[in-house]
Structures are given as structure tokens and as C-alpha cells.
Amino acid sequence: MKLSGLNIRKNKTGKWYVSYRKTGTALISGFEGSRDELVRHMASSDFLNAYTVAQQAKGKRVYPDGTFGALIDWYETREAWTKLAPRTQADYIKARDFLEPTFPISYLEISGDDVLEMRDRAAETRYLKFSNDVVAYMSSVFREAKDARKIERNPAHGIKRLYKADKEANRAWKQHEWDAVWRIAPSHIKPALAVARWAGLRGQDIAVLLWANYREDKDLGRALVFTPLKNGEKVGEIELGVVADLRAVLDPLAKGVLPSAPICRNSLGKQYPSENALRKVWQDFKASEAFTRALPVSSDLTLHGLRVTYASELRENGFSDREIADMLGDLTESMGKRYARGARMRKTSIRVFQKMTKTA
């Protein structure tokens, strides 16, 4: 009798693991013996009953205690997972799905060599950056398990990442590049470009920015007030003074709109469902004939590069690294200063706004 949908794996110590592929349900864990002995065991009534139950589970994952799959289920109930930024969670979910064949294995048996094997397999079958995500995800799971005293050491700790980001991947834009893009960009893209260029927001924050975040302020005139998605709990609420160039874009659009309406919209007038959707619109625009004709050697321009442009402009105007970090919503130098950050951040925002307004 041939059974379909099974994932059969033998680890380096010679033990067999069998799971139902669709749900990851472990059916055999740590069986010792030859392949023929395993096949005979899989013909037993106990195994066939477990296999039938797994088939009828309707997509629900079931992993016995002690398996890597059970450890992952536990990890995803912890704050180390639930408080990750949405973008990081999305990357980790892809890594988790890639690791599914290892779920039936005892997490206590996973070694550094196993992590290296999964890293190299990810690099060979997918791409280098994905292999970094696989290592990072495994490290995060095992770090949480170590902190909870479930394991003595993190087998993913110290594993070398294969992918190194190109330092020029998100380079600052040149002035002529900005001028050309602004001249030819479709109207629905311009608000996102403007917020990135003159406020330095990350794409994930631009995608969810609402008109309720665009407020009057006695010191700044107009301000963007929001909590960044990345490290928002640690960074807190940010107030950015809106310079004249950005106001010239936003003020006409703000008339008569509801506070709950998105500032940046796609070509259909809808809010971007994610940062990736916003990035896809930008990539499509870069692939257009108008863009390639106007900027034939600037295909490497990115939306995040406008955040770099904003930071570079602040540095050129004499602001310190700490002030620039505050304006970009980066973490403070130490958590001990966390509770003083709000007042300091506002003072920085006012100072930046006043100086940038004078130099405009």
C-alpha cells in the first residue's frame, strides 16, 4: 500500500522521522533501524491510524512536545514573535515554511551543523538573502528557548550570514535625479515620494500614514505625528515639522478629507495594503518608458534612498548623529534615556524645522 503526502527524513545519527507533509504532523520521531524496517513499521495498524487522523486534520498543524515544530508553535506565542515588525514577520514566515521538513525533529538534536545545512540549502535553492532570513529566524527561535531555559545553547548563534548588503543599494539621490523623477512621476506616486524625501519616513510607515497624522502644531505650523512600525514601542511617537516643499504637496490634498483616509494612495485611490505594494508601484514606474528615457542610468534608485537623502541633508546642515537618529525614528543610545526621549525629540524637531526652513 502506497501512502501519499509523507515527508520521510533520516538525520545524521541514523534516526528516521516521518510527518504528514500538508500539515507537518509528526507520525514517527526518532525511529532507529533500516529503511526496510521503517517501511514495515509504517505498515502497522498504529501508524496507519495516525496517518488517517493526520489526513483528516484539515490543515491544522500538530507537533508532539519536544519537536522543533512544537518549539516554533511555542515561540510564536511569545513577545519575541508577536512584537516583531510586520515586515520582519513576513520574512520569518517564509523562512518558517522553508524549514517545515525539520519540524518533526527533536529540537534538542538540532546542532550548528544542521543550521549550516539549512542555510546552505536555502542559498542553493532560493537566494543568498533568504539564507540570512533562515539563519535569523532559527536564531530567534533558539534564543527565546535558551532564555526560557528550554535549551542550554543556541545552535544558530555565530553562524555566518552569506549575504552582505550592497552599501550602495539605497544610495542618496542626486538633485538632478530627484528633479527628473518629480517632473515625470504620476500624481498618485508624488505624495509618497514627497513624504520620503522631505520627512525621511520608511516605506512601511508611508503606506499606512493617515490624514489624522497630519496635524496643526503651535511650534511647527504643521507636523506629521506618528509611531513608526519598526521599534515603535521603544521609539515612541515622533513629531516631524513639515517643511514648505512637503506642505505644498500635502495641503491641497488635505482639503475635505476624513482623518481616517490614507495620505498616500495607489492609482485606484485606495490605501496601499503593504509596503511591498508601494514598492511594486515604484518598480513599475521605474520600468516605464518615461523613466528610462529621462534617467537611463538611474535604475538603482529606491524609495528608501530618499530616506538616505533626507539624512544626508540633515548632516550637511550640521546636525549631530543623535539628532539625525531622532528625526529618523531610530532607537536611542540606551534604554535608560527612553523616558526623556519625548521631550528631547520635540526640541530636536523644532530646531531641525527652524533651521531647514531658513535654509530653504
Give all strands of the β-sheet with 238-241 in edge-to-edge order: 214-217, 221-226, 238-241
Establish if 347 belongs to a structural domain: yes
In a domain, 278, yes or no: yes
Note whether residue 163 is domain-resident. no
307-316: long-range pairs with CB below 8 Å, 24+: 307/170, 307/196, 307/200, 307/201, 307/202, 308/170, 308/171, 308/172, 309/172, 309/173, 309/178, 309/197, 310/196, 310/197, 310/198, 310/199, 310/200, 311/200, 312/172, 313/356, 314/352, 314/356
Whether residue 190 is contained in a domain is answered as: yes
Q: SS3 of 333, please? A: coil
Per-residue confidence (pLDDT) for residue 287, from 0 to 100: 93
Q: Which pLDDT score is estimated for 334?
A: 33
pLDDT in tens, the chain (360 residues): 578 888 888 887 888 888 888 777 778 888 898 998 998 888 888 888 788 877 776 555 678 889 999 999 999 899 999 888 777 888 898 999 899 889 989 999 999 999 999 999 999 999 999 999 999 999 999 999 999 999 999 999 999 999 887 666 788 999 999 999 999 999 999 999 999 999 999 999 999 999 999 999 998 999 999 988 887 777 788 899 999 999 999 999 999 999 999 999 999 999 988 888 899 999 999 999 999 999 999 999 999 999 999 988 888 888 888 888 888 877 644 322 322 344 556 777 787 788 877 766
Query: What's the domain range around 293?
Result: 175-359
* CATH code for position 225: 1.10.443.10
Q: Residue 331: what pLDDT?
A: 62
In a domain? residue 121:
no
Q: Which pLDDT score is estimated for 168?
A: 65
**CA dist., res. 105 & res. 28, Å (int):** 10
Diameter of the chain measured on Cα atoms = 82
Structural domain contains residue 111: no
Query: Is residue 181 included in any domain, yes or no?
Result: yes
pLDDT at 57: 65
How are beta strands 221-226 and 6-10 bridged, if at all?
A: unpaired
Judge contact between 106 and 67, C-beta under 8 A: yes
Determine contact, residues 156/135, Cβ cutoff 8 Å: yes
Domains of the chain: total: 1
Among positive and negative, which fits the CA dihedral 271, 277, 279, 284? negative
